[in-house]
Amino acid sequence: MSRKDEYEYLRTTAEEYVFRESKRLGLSRRRFLELSLGGALGAFLLACDGDDEPAASPTPAATGGDASFLPVKDVPETLFRDLRPNFEMRWNAMQGEGYHVPNSKFFVRNHTRTAQIDAGSWRLRVHGTGVERELEVTLDDLRRMESRTVSRYVECAGNGRSFFETIGGQKASGTQWLLGGIGVAEWRGVPLNVVLQEAGLKPSARDVMPAGLDERQVRRPMSVEKALAEDTLLVYEMNGEPLPPDHGAPVRALVPGWAGIANIKWVGSVEVSEEPLYTQWNTETYVFVGPTYQPDPPSLGPRVSSQNIKSALELDWPATLQPGRQTLRGRAWSPAAPIGRVEYSIDGSAYVEARLDGGRNEAGAWALFEFDWDAPAGEHDIRVRATDTAGNSQPDTVPFNEQGYLYNGVVPHPVRVA
């Protein structure tokens, strides 16, 4: 395991954090852990302000329909479910689309509201103990640097959260996503690596943290190893267009495979540190809390790391179909490896293998699949289950966690044929 892996990075960082903080406070490691679990060290543990992801997602009632929480782009009912300030992609909107989700259909997940930033006066500041010199670059400077184009998904760690209640029987806090908190786009930008070298990355550097220019200044650290990965980018183009405001204009981070929150939008600065960086986004939120999880100091529970394998049908939820023979399509994705196979089951019958379309299929993006169904009139449910070439598969059930992260169980998709 390397620190390029999110789980390994967070684990080793936690150990070091406990060591350093207990030393700083003149406590034994054990006493520090006792106090932190009792909540007495909360102030020290939260390196930054702000509330957590679930609480930060006001219901439509709480925002009173406040238009300032709406994205800048159009979010028609036909394409999105309104979970403001978040907007979920409707999967039936992907019927007939190619490999990428068009910008007009891409889900929006904002902790507050879309920041509107003037690209002309925008600067990126690279700073911290881990670089030889502070660097300031304009958008034109970035555009002149070596660029790279990759197809990758961004997926919210809460994608699928509503199934904890509707399938598991226990409601998790936070935005009640079905499965539309994901999208694959073609992203173009400068490898973060290139910018870090420009600032004189020190061999002693260990953590890298992009910070957003939105109200909450959302930020979350990553390891230097991940920052140096060839597909970790500072993105300025999405599907061949300038990055749209709702997706982080003028520049966002792309951190493939890691939890959605790592893909910081409206990046204004990147801190490079010789010391581990900690934020509430890896101690209080984006952690697993629930009956099957133990506290994992200094976090309230094991930290959410990489996204996991999932699949979805390109159908509305619930779907209505005409009776008769037809082809149903969907997409499956895994951060770990290409998709190996997808199976489907109708009304609980034995699983049958679906066809992969033979097109693009890479780790960190998705594969398209399809199967034929002679649909009889009535109420049905269809389950799809993906397995990647590393052997990861979707489970039947997922243990509950209070904040509702990473639900990747097989779900019965309700279908009415009439």
Ligand X SMILES: Nc1nc2c(c(=O)[nH]1)N[C@H]1C(S)=C(S)[C@@H](COP(=O)(O)O)O[C@H]1N2
Distances (CA, A) of 330 to 61, 337, 346, 395: 33, 18, 15, 18
Neighbours of 296 (CB within 10 A): 17
Among 35, 75, 137, 156, binds Mo ion (CB under 5 A): 156
Q: Which is nearer to ligand X, 155 or 343 (CB)?
A: 155
The residue with its CB nearest to ligand X is: 212
Q: Which is nearer to ligand X, 108 or 272 (CB)?
A: 108
Q: How far is the CB of 398 from ligand X (least distance, A)?
A: 19
The three-class DSSP label of residue 35 is helix
Q: How far is the CB of 158 from Mo ion (least distance, A)?
A: 6
Residues that bind ligand X (CB under 6 A): 106-111, 154, 156, 212, 214, 218, 247, 260-261, 263-266
Token code pair at residue 260: 């959605």
Among 85, 210, 250, 260, binds Mo ion (CB under 5 A): 260
What lies within 8 Å, CB to CB, of 18 at 6+ separation is: 29, 32, 33, 297, 298
What lies within 8 Å, CB to CB, of 96 at 6+ separation is: none
Distances (CA, A) of 27 to 20, 21, 413: 10, 8, 53
Q: Which is nearer to ligand X, 218 or 300 (CB)?
A: 218
Residue 214 interacting entry, from Mo ion, ligand X, none, C-beta within 5 to 8 Å by type: ligand X
DSSP assignment of 228-259:
TSTT-EEEEEETTEEPPGGGTTT-EEE-TTS-
How far, in Å, CA of 104 to CA of 198, rounded? 35
How far, in Å, CA of 84 to CA of 63, rounded? 8
Q: How far is the CB of 236 from ligand X (least distance, A)?
A: 14
Strands 324-333 and 352-353: unpaired
Q: Is 199 exposed, middle or buried (0-12, 13-18, 19+ CB in 10 A)?
A: buried
Residue 110 interacting entry, from Mo ion, ligand X, none, C-beta within 5 to 8 Å by type: ligand X
Map residues 102-141 to x or -, x wherever contact with Mo ion holds by CB under 5 A.
-------x--------------------------------
Percent helix, strand, coil in the chain, to 5, is 20, 30, 50
Q: How far is the CB of 73 from ligand X (least distance, A)?
A: 11
Q: How far is the CB of 297 from ligand X (least distance, A)?
A: 24
Site size toward Mo ion, by CB under 5 A:
4
Q: Which is nearer to Mo ion, 220 or 331 (CB)?
A: 220
How far, in Å, CA of 257 to CA of 109, rounded? 17
Q: How far is the CB of 318 from Mo ion (least distance, A)?
A: 25
Map residues 39-78 to x or -, x wherever contact with Mo ion holds by CB under 5 A.
----------------------------------------
Q: Which is nearer to ligand X, 185 or 328 (CB)?
A: 185
Q: Which is nearer to ligand X, 32 or 153 (CB)?
A: 153
Q: How far is the CB of 54 from Mo ion (least distance, A)?
A: 11
Residues that bind Mo ion (CB under 5 A): 109, 156, 260-261
